[in-house]
Amino acid sequence: MSEKLQVATIGGGCFWCTEAVFQRLDGVHKVVSGYAGGHLENPTYRDICTGESGHAEVIQIHYDPERISFSELLEVFWTTHDPTTLNRQGADRGTQYRSVIFYHNDEQRAVAQKSIEGTASKLYSDPIVTELSELPTFYVAEPYHQDYYNQNSLAGYCRAVINPKIAKLRQKYAHRLKATV
């Protein structure tokens, strides 16, 4: 991994969805699904599914800021999930599906705040409910959650929920996509 790579941590509902979207962006080297923002150490998927651990399903994006900026990642984030629904994305409901940006430093916090007030607020007429918090401990999700869409693209959830997000990404951000995933 290059020394110039940076890391962003976001949650926009199911991590299978957000992982699949961000894996396709040029400049993104790796996406890791996991959990953050809760009170339980080393949570499992079963723990966070109750909604009682406080964790959100999130992804960590390892990206090259010379090819894609944090601000550009956030633009894709705003347009590929609904940041106006509290603790819900589509049929997925619970605090684990909340919209959240976990910033890694003051610069990311400032960029995210500007993006919420600017880009996101211009895209939606309803108030933005995305949580903006400093990154607590990030826990990597179980191996079967990693690269989920690429390994299970024919599964019903993938076809019904993730495929439309990928189609929207291809339509709106064709110029930002990798040649292959």
Three-state secondary structure call for residue 178: coil
Catalytic-role residue among 14, 17, 49, 158: 14
Distances (CA, A) of 59 to 1, 70, 126: 18, 14, 25
At a CB cut-off of 8 Å and minimum separation 6, what does 83 contact? 12, 77, 99, 120, 124, 128, 129, 130
CA–CA separation, 164 vs 152, rounded Å?
Answer: 15
What is the distance between the alpha carbons of residues 103 and 59, in angstroms, rounded to a whole number? 12
Contact 11, 139 (CB under 8 A): no
The encoded tokens of residue 178 equal 């990798």
What is the phi/psi pair of residue 43, to 5°?
-70, 155
Active-site residue 158, yes or no? no
Rounded CA-CA distance 169/26 in Å is 12
Catalytic residues: 14
